[in-house]
Structure 1
Amino acid sequence: MTFKQNSCLLLCLMCCLSFSGLSVLAEQKSSDNAGSPQPLTLIIMDPLAAPLSCPCVKGYAQRKYETLGEYLETQLGRKVEVQFTESLAKALPKNGNDQACLIIGKQSVVLADATALKLKVQGIARLSDLQGETTQTGLIVVSAQDPAQHAKDLQGYRIFFGPSECDEKHQAALSILKNAHVPIPDKLEISQACSDGACKILEFDKDIRAAAVISSYAKPLLQGCGTIKKGDLRVVAETKPVPFITAFTGGNVNPAEQKQITAALLNVVTQPELCKALESLMGFVPIETAEDTSKPVSASGKKKIQDPQIEQSSAVWPGWLGPHRNGSVTQLPKSLPATTSPLWNFKLAYSGLGGIAATQDRVIFGDRGLDNQSDLFRCLSASDGKVQWVLEYLAPGELDYGTSPRATPLVYGDLVFLLGAFGDLHCVEIKSGKVFWKKNLYRDFGQNTRPTWGACSSPLIVENRLIVNPGAKAASLVALDPRTGKTLWQTPGNEAAYGSFIAGKFGGRLQVVGHDAVSLGGWDVKTGQRLWTVIPAYSGDFNVPTPLAINGQLLVTTENNGTRLYGFDSDGIVIPRAVAINEDLNPDMSSPIQIGDHVYCIWNDMYCLNWKNGLKTAWNGPDKAFGDYAALITDSQRILVIGKGGRLVLVDANTEQFKVNSRLNLFIDPGNENIFSHCALVGNRLYLRGESELICVDLSVH
């Protein structure tokens, strides 16, 4: 062949190979597209989203959902298309069930629109606001000069309600007026927007009595936009809370995809910048109540009593034993990192026993002043450990094991309750540290002698009552108004023990349960009446471990009387003879946790007991990290043990054998770190108090 012929042949071969390659690539691309998931349409109907609101109030109603869309694309590995709309009909085709969508908006509006479109939706999570709340209310307002003071005064008034799909302005408002015996006209006057109703009642002549129902979230916007002036309107009634911003999956989202989307939303709490963009304290939180989110809220407005153990979201660590007061969280790491360094640390004046409370952006704990004559509570920034505020007050005295506060701070909305070892209780604003009220549990309730080791029981919130235990003869247990400190009830009884109380429904009755110095008891939440008493067979227990509610039964464990499980009758009274007893587990301080049919606890070894099988010991496992005390946290799949010297041990929840998943030492010299303070876990961030410093570590595997 000539050179020219060779060149032509080579060119032909190259072209053939090129076309062949293009064909293969085209086939591969076609195959890839066939296997790629359908784009997810993120439909935003949140009235506080930036495109659906106005920028009149700085830092409010400017939620940036585009940021959430970018996050979901990364988490889900699929394209996410963000749409903003005030109605589903404008965003979806006629047959929306053929489209995969995630809808985020006011719950009652989404459900009403979905019903009209015959769109199948399922509620999967709720968005918390900057106070950690997931609800809103309706506000019945009148002009400032109107004589009405309460809902009952609105008889004969023209009342402007919101549309029927807006529960807070319609169904909930009707309920409160009916309860106040205000006649409801056959034909309601409806205002589509909060601004319409508010402006109408201000435009009327003085001789026309009128009221309007507006949404609680809209009040700042009405004033910020200049629609009304501050002081023009006055609230005469507020409805019961109704769910606010809820996330729904809809269309052809399958169960596996729904699970993946839900997990991604619940993980938002670990993304501080995303939470900031969404104007949210805790990101999305689980829908924990038994309500059916596939149906609109009923007009009765009645709210099912929740188990108070699940009132707080697991996206924060609000107080003793975490969000549910039982050591359980939504998710733990699948394994611990091989090594890690603190994101930040904070030097302490003294070692301490008190636990840590933490939110998305705050970390609160107790310490002592340098002179050891004052209590000192600090609030640090969660991002960098810098001091946000300090509360210091004189608290002189001596106690065994130091004089630092023992009780864990308790976060409740915008408040935090701080209890020192000498009985000083303060209610402060979590944002600023401003003191709203204070008491001394011993002086104010007539207890002349304090417990040997001081006030140790961490405060408890249940049904808007702050429960504390002065241990006074006339005030063994006390309920305070959390906003004012006013005594709501006090119950006579015995001196205080050292453990913390829980609240739960036992025998169908909501009650506070815990120990005093000599007995176990239950108290009615509303009245404080002591309902029952159990005096154990052997005296001398310090009663430190926290009781555990298990399926309507009560598990307690102490050093002299072992571990016991109690049942209740239909009136909520304990059956004195224990259902089951285990004499193997006798912890001095460690509190147990529950996973399914088993409970786990540390007492030199880790113990696994089957509570459904007579509290029989399934196994006990030794480990060099375990001692008299260890804190346990579980997500029902794994157990995080904070052992001696800050040694972390992640244990698989295995009912057959003790199985360590992974380990991590947090301090250089664990032998010199005596840790009796309970940690706080928010997302993947663990806050732990050592002998001389408080550290923040990221437990995610990088």
Structure 2
Amino acid sequence: MKTRNLLIINVFVLLSIACSSGYAQTISEWRGLGRTGVYNESGLLKVWPENGPQLMWSNENLPQGYSSMSVANGIVYLTGIKDSMDVLVAFDMIGNIKWQTPYGHTWVGSFPESRSTPTVEGDRVYVTSGLGYIACLNAIYGQVIWQVNGYKKFGGRFGSWGYTESPLIVDNKVIFTPCGENTTIVALDKNTGETIWQSKSMKDTVAYVSPLLVKEGEKNLIITITGTYLLVVDADNGEILSSSNYAGLKNEKSIKAWPGAPYTNTNTPIYKDHKIYITGGYDHVGAMYSLSNDFKTLTLNWTDETLDVHHGGVVLVDGYLYGSNWINNKIGKWCCIDWNTGKTMYEKDWKTKGSIIANDGLLYCYEEKTGYIALVKATPEDFAIVSSFQVQYGKGPCWSHPAISNGVLYLRHGSALMAYKIK
């Protein structure tokens, strides 16, 4: 573990102590609060120094994984694998590992590395494992409070790469998607792990999507994608209000890529004003749906063949969708399409595909092959790079999504975590 600038670090330690007092109930989760990938921090650098922003600290001793990071209680949380277990890891604000707790069995097939990003609410943190365990741990000290084998309990059905879901908190419930013959999506009591409700079964296989919570009036809606279906679910009782067969939508090109491609969905949906956008990679079309006012009808508005995002996510900024597409497993381009029409605004080469987040009109694009990250103007006119740099540490693909918290940009590269000062 390497540190930079002791003065800045000491300031951040004091801030972390202040933040941990009282264990605020604000949720820290996958792709930021609300799961949109769009952060809401002020005063961040609009241009980075030539060699990149200041590296405050790094730690190169992470257990292997692709999860992103959540920051709360003056702690950075992520997951990894050790032996046959998924492990929750907690770091202090200068990069030291505070504790590591195994919480469930890992996936045993290809790409077993952990992918569940922790969801933190107050002094509790929620995670899932590759073989479908759901666990709640003490967020300060790391003890397991409860654990449920969701795959076994609900008769789940996983796909080629197990379970990857980042748990969703809705009031007193934690949401998990086992799929299978008995149910599709379930709600557990976040305090005890007991089952509150389980939906009917769509007889489907799990995908790799972390669900979205939408509040329309007094109604809480869960929007997610299984192997086959786009689903809108009543968060109060588990009723599946509407569904659409996304895997069967214009999938001819995708099936040519490989037969399982239309069922390999990874990206959290984007929602605004009763419209839902989803995309899945592998030459499968992206799609925009309108959701009726009673939430019971999904109507297809348009499809798009440009922005087929592999697993790097999408952001909506000022009426345009941004992300990277899939040309093949090693190559992709950076794209912008119109939210209302699906019209392609640009499709540009830069390194290769990767993950994307946004803040204050700027895109943070983290390409997956060589670990470059670019600061890009969010404009439909061009992929306009303002600054870029390459991460210093780590090996393997850069599949972990970036995260921003309190003026710090967190980047993970395999077994390395880096914290950059961007304010």
Deviation at 1:509, TM superposition (A): 4.3
> Is 1:407–1:456's contact at 8 Å kept on the other side of the alignment?
yes
Determine the C-alpha separation between the residues in 1 that align with 2:296 and 2:143: 41
Instruction: Map residues 613-624 of structure 1 onto 2, 5 A cutoff.
Output: 614-624=341-351
Alignment partner, residue 359 of structure 1: 72
Alignment partner, residue 295 of structure 2: 572
Deviation at 1:646, TM superposition (A): 2.3
Question: Using a 3 Å threshold, how does the CA distance of structure 1 residues 515 and 507 change in structure 2: closer, same or farther?
Answer: farther
Report the 3-state secondary structure (helix = DSSP H, G, I; strand = E; otherwise coil) of the residue aligned with 1:344: strand
Deviation at 1:279, TM superposition (A): 7.3
> Is 1:272–1:360's contact at 8 Å kept on the other side of the alignment?
no
Question: Using a 3 Å threshold, how does the CA distance of structure 1 residues 320 and 380 change in structure 2: closer, same or farther?
Answer: same
Determine the C-alpha separation between the residues in 2 that align with 1:487 and 1:662: 48
More off after superposition, 508-517 vs 641-650: 508-517
Alignment partner, residue 497 of structure 1: 207
Determine the C-alpha separation between the residues in 2 that align with 1:278 and 1:525: 30
* Matching residue within 626, 635, 639 for 2:359: 635
* Matching residue within 683, 692, 696 for 2:406: 683
Alignment partner, residue 419 of structure 2: 696
Structure 1 position 554 matched with structure 2 position 279 = no
Instruction: Map residues 174-189 of structure 1 onto 2, 5 A cutoff.
Output: none
Deviation at 1:281, TM superposition (A): 7.3
* Matching residue within 114, 126, 129 for 1:405: 114
Greater radius of gyration (CA): 1
* Matching residue within 415, 437, 452 for 2:124: 415
> Is 2:250–2:285's contact at 8 Å kept on the other side of the alignment?
no
Please list the CA deviations of residues 470-515 of structure 1 after superposition, one character each: whole Å capped at 9, or x if unmatched: 1132121001111111111001322211111101146984311111
Structure 1 position 608 matched with structure 2 position 300 = no
Please list the CA deviations of residues 586-633 of structure 1 after superposition, one character each: whole Å capped at 9, or x if unmatched: 122222111111111112222111113x12112222212x32xx2212
Deviation at 1:335, TM superposition (A): 1.7
Determine the C-alpha separation between the residues in 2 that align with 1:586 and 1:380: 35
Alignment partner, residue 171 of structure 1: none
Taking structure 2 as the reference length, what is the TM-score of the superposition? 0.84
> Is 2:289–2:301's contact at 8 Å kept on the other side of the alignment?
yes
Deviation at 1:634, TM superposition (A): 1.2
Determine the C-alpha separation between the residues in 2 that align with 1:277 and 1:585: 42
> Is 1:506–1:568's contact at 8 Å kept on the other side of the alignment?
no
Question: Using a 3 Å threshold, how does the CA distance of structure 1 residues 274 and 380 change in structure 2: closer, same or farther?
Answer: closer
> Is 1:646–1:673's contact at 8 Å kept on the other side of the alignment?
no
Report the 3-state secondary structure (helix = DSSP H, G, I; strand = E; otherwise coil) of the residue aligned with 1:343: strand
Deviation at 1:546, TM superposition (A): 1.3
Alignment partner, residue 89 of structure 2: 378
Determine the C-alpha separation between the residues in 2 that align with 1:506 and 1:573: 13
More off after superposition, 331-340 vs 472-481: 331-340
Alignment partner, residue 479 of structure 1: 187
Deviation at 1:312, TM superposition (A): 4.3
> Is 2:242–2:298's contact at 8 Å kept on the other side of the alignment?
no
> Is 1:507–1:573's contact at 8 Å kept on the other side of the alignment?
no
Q: In structure 1, what residue type is equivalent to 2:100?
A: V
Give 5+ residue unaligned stretches, structure 1. 1-269, 284-310
Q: In structure 2, what residue type is equivalent to 1:660?
A: I
> Is 2:91–2:99's contact at 8 Å kept on the other side of the alignment?
yes
Q: In structure 2, what residue type is equivalent to 1:457?
A: E
> Is 2:34–2:213's contact at 8 Å kept on the other side of the alignment?
no
Deviation at 1:341, TM superposition (A): 5.5
Please list the CA deviations of residues 39-73 of structure 1 after superposition, one character each: whole Å capped at 9, or x if unmatched: xxxxxxxxxxxxxxxxxxxxxxxxxxxxxxxxxxx
Determine the C-alpha separation between the residues in 2 that align with 1:396 and 1:326: 27
> Is 2:287–2:303's contact at 8 Å kept on the other side of the alignment?
yes
Alignment partner, residue 522 of structure 1: 232
* Matching residue within 318, 322, 346 for 2:32: 322
> Is 1:472–1:492's contact at 8 Å kept on the other side of the alignment?
no
Question: Using a 3 Å threshold, how does the CA distance of structure 1 residues 363 and 461 change in structure 2: closer, same or farther?
Answer: same
Question: Using a 3 Å threshold, how does the CA distance of structure 1 residues 349 and 611 change in structure 2: closer, same or farther?
Answer: closer
Alignment partner, residue 321 of structure 2: 599
More off after superposition, 543-552 vs 679-688: 679-688
Determine the C-alpha separation between the residues in 1 that align with 2:20 and 2:308: 46
Determine the C-alpha separation between the residues in 2 that align with 1:463 and 1:633: 26
Question: Using a 3 Å threshold, how does the CA distance of structure 1 residues 397 and 616 change in structure 2: closer, same or farther?
Answer: closer
> Is 1:636–1:653's contact at 8 Å kept on the other side of the alignment?
no
Alignment partner, residue 457 of structure 1: 165
Deviation at 1:665, TM superposition (A): 1.4
How many residues align? The count is: 388
More off after superposition, 534-543 vs 271-280: 271-280
Question: Using a 3 Å threshold, how does the CA distance of structure 1 residues 349 and 634 change in structure 2: closer, same or farther?
Answer: closer
Alignment partner, residue 257 of structure 2: none
Determine the C-alpha separation between the residues in 2 that align with 1:366 and 1:666: 20
Structure 1 position 425 matched with structure 2 position 137 = no
Report the 3-state secondary structure (helix = DSSP H, G, I; strand = E; otherwise coil) of the residue aligned with 1:443: helix
Question: Using a 3 Å threshold, how does the CA distance of structure 1 residues 431 and 679 change in structure 2: closer, same or farther?
Answer: same
Deviation at 1:344, TM superposition (A): 2.5
Alignment partner, residue 444 of structure 1: 153
> Is 2:17–2:74's contact at 8 Å kept on the other side of the alignment?
no
Deviation at 1:689, TM superposition (A): 1.8
Report the 3-state secondary structure (helix = DSSP H, G, I; strand = E; otherwise coil) of the residue aligned with 1:558: coil
Give 5+ residue unaligned stretches, structure 2. 1-10, 252-261, 326-331
Instruction: Map residues 25-64 of structure 1 onto 2, 5 A cutoff.
Output: none
> Is 1:638–1:653's contact at 8 Å kept on the other side of the alignment?
yes
Question: Using a 3 Å threshold, how does the CA distance of structure 1 residues 581 and 508 change in structure 2: closer, same or farther?
Answer: farther
Determine the C-alpha separation between the residues in 2 that align with 1:687 and 1:281: 24
Please list the CA deviations of residues 6-45 of structure 1 after superposition, one character each: whole Å capped at 9, or x if unmatched: xxxxxxxxxxxxxxxxxxxxxxxxxxxxxxxxxxxxxxxx
> Is 1:375–1:392's contact at 8 Å kept on the other side of the alignment?
yes
Determine the C-alpha separation between the residues in 2 that align with 1:589 and 1:282: 32
Deviation at 1:282, TM superposition (A): 9.3
Question: Using a 3 Å threshold, how does the CA distance of structure 1 residues 692 and 598 change in structure 2: closer, same or farther?
Answer: same
Report the 3-state secondary structure (helix = DSSP H, G, I; strand = E; otherwise coil) of the residue aligned with 2:39: coil
Question: Using a 3 Å threshold, how does the CA distance of structure 1 residues 277 and 419 change in structure 2: closer, same or farther?
Answer: closer
Deviation at 1:271, TM superposition (A): 5.6
Q: In structure 2, what residue type is equivalent to 1:698?
A: K
Alignment partner, residue 344 of structure 1: 57
| Structure richer in helix, relative to its length | 1
> Is 1:564–1:580's contact at 8 Å kept on the other side of the alignment?
yes
Taking structure 1 as the reference length, what is the TM-score of the superposition? 0.52
Report the 3-state secondary structure (helix = DSSP H, G, I; strand = E; otherwise coil) of the residue aligned with 1:320: coil
Q: In structure 2, what residue type is equivalent to 1:608?
A: C
Alignment partner, residue 654 of structure 1: 379
Alignment partner, residue 273 of structure 1: 14
Please list the CA deviations of residues 127-183 of structure 1 after superposition, one character each: whole Å capped at 9, or x if unmatched: xxxxxxxxxxxxxxxxxxxxxxxxxxxxxxxxxxxxxxxxxxxxxxxxxxxxxxxxx
Q: In structure 1, what residue type is equivalent to 2:296?
A: I
Structure number with higher relative contact order (C-alpha < 8 Å, ≥ 6 residues apart): 2
> Is 2:285–2:308's contact at 8 Å kept on the other side of the alignment?
yes
Determine the C-alpha separation between the residues in 2 that align with 1:550 and 1:533: 18
> Is 1:507–1:552's contact at 8 Å kept on the other side of the alignment?
no
Q: In structure 1, what residue type is equivalent to 2:170?
A: V
Question: Using a 3 Å threshold, how does the CA distance of structure 1 residues 274 and 438 change in structure 2: closer, same or farther?
Answer: closer
Q: In structure 1, what residue type is equivalent to 2:163?
A: A
Percent sequence identity over matched residues? 24
Determine the C-alpha separation between the residues in 1 that align with 2:159 and 2:32: 25
Report the 3-state secondary structure (helix = DSSP H, G, I; strand = E; otherwise coil) of the residue aligned with 1:579: strand
Alignment partner, residue 76 of structure 1: none
Q: In structure 1, what residue type is equivalent to 2:223?
A: V
